[in-house]
């Protein structure tokens, strides 16, 4: 029996202040997310961020919530079930969240009882980052350290570059291109602090936060920023876009420390000043629509764009529970 463990970031159990506060505390207390000494992280998260941010975030989650609950969770459940059906009885597919439910600890206990021959772990993050994929691996290894019988383990670090990923977004874009003549294509990725990238640069001289990301090399192939720029190039190539008509930016920054640039909100204002009035936006760092795509990019950035003088803003949906995404994962499992 081969086990397939799909792991996404997580979501509150409900769109209320208490649930959001619990989610934020677990998420932000992860040392790979906020990489400062534990005492300072504890005070920052529990004394400032969670108490003050939870009520505001709960209201936003209420806008996102659907009858089935959080889209990130129910899309994951749909994909889990469809992938299980597609792979057949020789596989067992499970879904877990790094934070909150279904939690990794409970899911891995279920998988341990199955006496698997092989376990394929797929963090559902197209690009590698220490705060996402790295955190999943660390937690999985911690939880599996007590297993007496270890199956063969295959870890998928990233998959943005695999055949089919860029093609999905290019194909989804076609229906919007048929209705509008867009003059720019903006690819917005979740940001991380620059220090995360710098800490991952073992050479200590590769990351200069500029031209170093113009191509993937042996030295930067594991760099989140470089992978984001490469994702943009691959999708743009699939779409046949010309240089100068597309760009990469980073959203969702928090705090005063410098995060990956260019920032999406500042880029939007700049583009409007340059005369870009019709923009098709993408969020290729997410496999399921969530607060950061539907609300932040789809609504908040649209409002910012229109207030600055833009005319038409459209977000291309994530992979969600599409047949193409399930087929992509099936191929990924067979190749792992």
d(CA 285, CA 128): 10
Q: Is 295 exposed, middle or buried (0-12, 13-18, 19+ CB in 10 A)?
A: middle
CA distances in angstroms from 174 to 45, 99, 168, 179, 239, listed in the order given: 43, 35, 10, 9, 9
Please give the distance of CA 307 from its chain centroid, rounded to a whole number.
28
Distance (Å, whole) CA 122 – CA 199? 24
Q: Residues 227, 128: contact at Cβ < 8 Å?
A: yes
Residue 190 annotated as binding site:
yes
Q: Is 243 annotated as a binding residue?
A: no
Q: How far is CA 276 from the centre of its chain?
A: 27
Per-position DSSP letters for 256-322, written without gaps between them: SS-BSSSBHHHHHHHHHHTT--EEEEE-TT-SS--IIIIIIIIIIHHHHHHHTT--EEEEPP--TT-
Helix and strand element counts for the chain (H, E): 12, 8
Q: Which residues pair with 119 in a beta bridge?
A: 3, 153
Check if the beta carbon of residue 26 is closer than 8 Å to that of residue 305: no
CA distance 281 to 316: 6
CA–CA separation, 233 vs 216, rounded Å? 11
Q: Which parts are annotated binding residues?
A: 190, 292
Instruction: Give the residue ranges of the annotated binding site for Fe(2+).
Output: 190, 292
């Amino acid at each position: 029996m081969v086990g397939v463990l799909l792991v996404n970031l997580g979501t509150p159990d409900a769109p209320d202040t208490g649930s959001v506060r619990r989610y934020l505390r677990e998420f932000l207390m992860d040392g790979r997310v906020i990489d400062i000494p534990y005492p300072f992280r504890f005070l920052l998260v529990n004394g400032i961020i969670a108490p003050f941010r939870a009520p505001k975030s709960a209201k936003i989650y209420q806008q996102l919530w659907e009858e089935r609950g959080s889209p990130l969770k129910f899309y994951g459940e749909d994909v889990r079930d469809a992938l299980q059906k597609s792979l057949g009885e020789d596989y067992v597919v499970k879904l877990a969240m790094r934070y909150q439910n279904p939690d990794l600890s409970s899911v891995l206990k279920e998988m341990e009882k199955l006496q698997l021959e092989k376990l394929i772990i797929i963090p559902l993050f197209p690009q590698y980052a220490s705060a996402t994929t790295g955190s999943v691996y660390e937690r999985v290894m911690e939880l599996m350290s007590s297993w007496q019988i270890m199956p063969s383990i295959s870890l998928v670090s990233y998959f943005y570059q695999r055949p089919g990923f860029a093609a999905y977004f290019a194909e989804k874009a076609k229906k919007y291109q048929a209705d509008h003549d867009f003059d720019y294509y903006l690819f917005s990725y979740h940001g991380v602090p620059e220090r995360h990238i710098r800490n991952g640069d073992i050479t200590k001289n590769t990351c200069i936060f500029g031209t170093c990301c113009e191509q993937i090399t042996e030295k930067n192939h594991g760099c989140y920023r470089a992978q984001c720029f490469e994702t943009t190039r691959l999708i743009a190539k699939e779409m046949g876009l010309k240089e100068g008509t597309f760009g990469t930016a980073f959203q969702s920054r928090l705090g005063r420390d410098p995060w990956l640039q260019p920032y999406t909100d500042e880029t939007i204002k700049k583009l409007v000043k340059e005369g870009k009035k019709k923009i098709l936006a993408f969020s290729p760092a997410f496999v399921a629509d969530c607060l950061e795509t539907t609300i932040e990019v789809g609504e908040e950035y649209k409002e910012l764009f229109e207030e600055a003088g833009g005319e038409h803003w459209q977000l291309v949906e994530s992979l969600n529970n599409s047949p193409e995404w399930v087929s992509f994962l099936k191929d990924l499992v067979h190749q792992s």
